[in-house]
Structure 1
Amino acid sequence: MKDMPETQGLVIVGEAECERLVGRKDAFDAVEAVFGAMAKGDAWNFPVVREAIGYADALYGFKSGFDKAGKVLGVKSGGYWPGNMDKGLTNHQSTVFLFDPDTGQLAALVGGNYLTAVRTAASSAVSIAHLARKDAKVLGMVGAGHQSQFQLRAAAEQRDFEKVVAWNPHPEMLPKLGAVAEELGLPFEAVTQEQLGAQADVIITITSAFEPLLMKDWIKPGTHIACMGTDTKGKQEVDAALVAATTVFTDEVAQSISIGEAQHAIAEGSLTEDRITPIGAVINGAHPGRSSDDEITLFDGTGVGLQDLAVASVAARLAEEEGSAKRVSL
């Protein structure tokens, strides 16, 4: 793991330590760097395994990869348990395993729940930083679940927003998101989907929907959309015609066309793979990103294993430096 002190045994970093040690800036920097490394061919993800286990309506799988530039090798194991909220747990459960790339030995075991939320928010924040109009004033939030609060906090740091408008299929969940906006000093308004599209300069979708929640005709010119919920075949948050009408960027093209938001436009032939650009190319300066104030840009954030490994490596390094990491021998 990059910059980690050499120690004996397995480092264990729990959820509480991850939340205390890894801030939004740490996550942003780690995710931005790994996207850049991916675009240069210095880091790559391995094929994703994600399956319904036939029990508890759960989805379970593995995301893994190797960042040669950052010397980070590992796997995130976990998934989605929809009944967890009723048990006082988050629906997304995961753990990150980091290995020494020089020896293959297990080097760290890191709680993945908080890190999944903070790295997902960092991913959309990176897209806003590089693709949204500089004068964006209204942030639109589609979704009000657990991860939406992370998304709102991270997005608010990227532009001088003056207002947050939000819609959620379950309106009773919106007040919690509104409380975060109030904490950030931003006026908050619950609106219809059409009103959200008409007002928002930046839109983040963070749901588990399997049907479009935003339609092409509702979105105004110059909007940046970060689609962060679609990470499985069949999921969908926005109209395929909207995707096809935008300039599309993504974390990884292979996932975008197969399990990401672009899958539907690709399937109907309205979008081709060569029109999807890795956001790392923008980060590295190989692609200009937004070309005009009227252009609608879309980031298809499918979630890649290298994001998880990057932030977990930061957590392990910080815990080691602080001396708070537990250590055991296998």
Structure 2
Amino acid sequence: MFPFRVLNQEAVQENLDMKSCLDIVERAYRLKDENKATLFPMVFHEFEPGVADMDIKSGHLAGANIFGLKLVSWFGENPTKNLPAIIGTVMVLDSRTGRPIGIMSGEAITLMRTGAAAGVGAKYFAREDSKVLLSVGSGHLGAYQLLATLMTLEKIEKVWVYNPRSTERAEIFCQSVKQKCMQLLQPYQTDRSYYEEMVRRINIPFEVVYDIEQAVAEADVINTATPSKQPLLKKEWITEGTHITCLGADMGGKQEIDEHIFANAKLFVDDITQAMNVGETEIPVKKGIVQADQLTEIGSVIRGLREGRTSPQDVTIFDSTGIALQDLLTAESILREAEKNGSGVVADI
């Protein structure tokens, strides 16, 4: 009675690319700011603190005639069992009728849209002449957020990678990340000029950071993507003009940067309520360092209604907690492509 398309991870990856995802994430932010999209309350459960958790993010995109949800889990010990740390499922439904449109693996969508958010944040808040990109964290998200940032900042000359738990993991990451980026660039091989330009951008030094204080002081752009519950960057290390995108905080108690950095920075978020409840912004708000009226949603900057960076000296923070609208709009795009080329399986309920 209700046919819908089912896509496994391979089919999702075949129909998704980073350049398109950058545009999709921007559109999701824009629709939200235009009041053509609504977020529903997030559901979160921790199976074992710091080891395994799950959350359900859901919403309605009236501007795209869809609603749905993403259920994603993180099991930190899975890689030792030859399983991915992140496992997710996305369901998309028609908001005019309620009928299911598709269900698909959510891991690739999560990695791609989260990485794309870092690129969008860099596009609107980092200095255009930024040369040094620092990645704090070297997990599965690493290649995605680095590639997205390199796609939007053409003058980056080197990438530094810091893993707060393991220098060895950072070294392994630096040895393999270019190969992963090349894999993500495969969809553009038919567009020779763009492909060659992106190969040029990733063919720069990727180096392990041993002195995080010095690296932070010299970095122009910093992406944090860890499960940390203690600040990894201190306020006194930050220099004028730095942009920071925080990707790791997505539940209460997580924290990657010193809350006092917020006091003298321009603050941007994907969703104010979610950022204050579970994002990097949570701790500064609870400690009275930040008030809600100091936060600007990125959608209003994209639409030109609010200012982003206004001087080369500004310190900017983008708290990217990850919203369901990104997942659903990305999934809807994948389903359209899959229907064109016959990917996946059509099921019925």
Give TM-score, length-normalised by structure 2: 0.90
Structure 1 unaligned segments of length 5 or more: list them.
1-6
1:181 offset after TM fit, Å? 5.6
Q: Does 1:161 align with 2:156?
A: yes
Equivalent residue, structure 2, for 1:73? 67
Q: Does 1:11 align with 2:11?
A: no
1:302 to 300, 321, 334: 321
CA distance in 2, matches of 1:291, 1:54: 43
How many pairs does the alignment contain?
324
Q: CA RMSD in A?
A: 1.6
2:330 to 311, 317, 328: 311
One-letter amino acid matched to 1:174: A
CA distance in 2, matches of 1:166, 1:57: 23
> 2:63 aligns to what SS in structure 1?
coil
Equivalent residue, structure 1, for 2:77? 83
One-letter amino acid matched to 1:285: G
1:304 offset after TM fit, Å? 0.8
Structure 2 unaligned segments of length 5 or more: list them.
180-201
Q: Does 1:285 align with 2:304?
A: yes
Q: Aligned in 2, Cα 1:99/1:182: closer, same or farther, shift over 3 Å?
A: closer
> What does 1:113-132 align with in structure 2 at a 5 Å threshold?
113-132=107-126
CA distance in 2, matches of 1:193, 1:38: 36
> What does 1:1-330 align with in structure 2 at a 5 Å threshold?
9-53=3-47, 57-159=51-153, 160-169=155-164, 170-179=166-175, 182=178, 184-191=202-209, 192-330=211-349
> Any runs of at least 4 consecutive aligned residues in structure 1 with deviations exceeding 2 A, and if so which?
53-58, 179-183
1:36-82 C-alpha deviation (Å, 9 max, x unpaired): 11112111110000012369942122110011112221100122112
1:175 offset after TM fit, Å? 2.5
One-letter amino acid matched to 1:202: V
CA distance in 2, matches of 1:54, 1:220: 37
Alpha-carbon contact 1:232-1:259 (below 8 Å) kept:
yes
Alpha-carbon contact 2:38-2:60 (below 8 Å) kept:
yes
CA distance in 1, matches of 2:119, 2:234: 23
> 2:312 aligns to what SS in structure 1?
coil
One-letter amino acid matched to 2:79: M
Q: Aligned in 2, Cα 1:56/1:121: closer, same or farther, shift over 3 Å?
A: closer
Alpha-carbon contact 1:231-1:303 (below 8 Å) kept:
yes
1:186-238 C-alpha deviation (Å, 9 max, x unpaired): 11222222122111100000000000000111111001100000000000000
CA distance in 1, matches of 2:151, 2:245: 15
CA distance in 2, matches of 1:228, 1:182: 21
Alpha-carbon contact 2:174-2:206 (below 8 Å) kept:
yes
Percent of pairs with identical residues: 34
1:182 offset after TM fit, Å? 4.8
Q: Aligned in 2, Cα 1:100/1:239: closer, same or farther, shift over 3 Å?
A: same
1:18 offset after TM fit, Å? 1.1
Alpha-carbon contact 1:65-1:74 (below 8 Å) kept:
yes
Q: Aligned in 2, Cα 1:253/1:55: closer, same or farther, shift over 3 Å?
A: closer
CA distance in 1, matches of 2:82, 2:174: 21
Alpha-carbon contact 2:2-2:99 (below 8 Å) kept:
no
CA distance in 1, matches of 2:35, 2:94: 20
1:319 offset after TM fit, Å? 0.5
